[in-house]
């Protein structure tokens, strides 16, 4: 199973992100969606699990929870916008992957057997931070995360 992970779009769904996510089985959006059209665009690619981030304050955003638990490919995911607000022990809760956003800094880290993944920001550029998203390949016992620069279109 291949999962696309995106965050901090702030109302911008880049064509480069759409290209990179083509063919995934599921998409997780870790908040700061910015506009409902972003989720509509992602749903044209694959089913979407999305949460509300700190900038998602308009009426449409009330439909999204600040956190989600989802099981994909036999793995348990906990999705929240700011990892600093994690209020549970992922190991004790049986979580395999913690997905967050907020910092705009892409990061992959494994702690006590739990994968922590921040795909970075796929929205408008902020400072000198990369424009990025992530994918996860779930095969057998393996979880293979990858970060992708989406600041320019992939070569044909």
Taking only the tens place, the pLDDT of each residue in 111-142 is 999 999 999 999 998 878 899 999 999 998 89
Question: Could you tell me the domains of the chain?
Answer: 2-149 (3.60.21.10)
Q: pLDDT, tens digit, for every residue of 68-113?
A: 999 999 999 999 999 999 999 999 999 999 999 999 999 999 999 9
pLDDT in tens, 50-64: 999 999 999 999 999
CA distance 5 to 27: 6
Q: pTM value?
A: 0.96
Q: HSE-up of 79 (CA within 13 Å, CB side)?
A: 25
């Amino acid at each position: 199973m291949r999962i696309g992970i995106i965050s901090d779009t702030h109302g911008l769904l880049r064509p480069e992100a759409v290209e990179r996510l083509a063919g995934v089985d599921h998409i997780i959006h870790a908040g700061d969606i910015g506009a409902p059209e972003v989720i509509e665009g992602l749903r044209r690619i694959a089913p979407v699990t999305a949460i509300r981030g700190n900038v998602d304050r308009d009426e449409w955003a009330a439909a999204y929870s600040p956190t989600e638990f989802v099981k994909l490919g036999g793995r348990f995911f906990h999705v929240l916008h700011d990892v600093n607000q994690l209020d549970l022990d992922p190991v004790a809760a049986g979580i395999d992957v913690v997905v967050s956003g907020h910092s705009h800094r892409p990061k992959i880290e494994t702690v006590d057997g739990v994968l922590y993944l921040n795909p970075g920001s796929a929205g408008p550029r902020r400072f000198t931070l990369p424009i990025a998203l992530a994918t996860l390949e779930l095969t057998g016992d393996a979880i293979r995360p990858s970060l992708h620069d989406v600041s320019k279109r992939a070569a044909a």
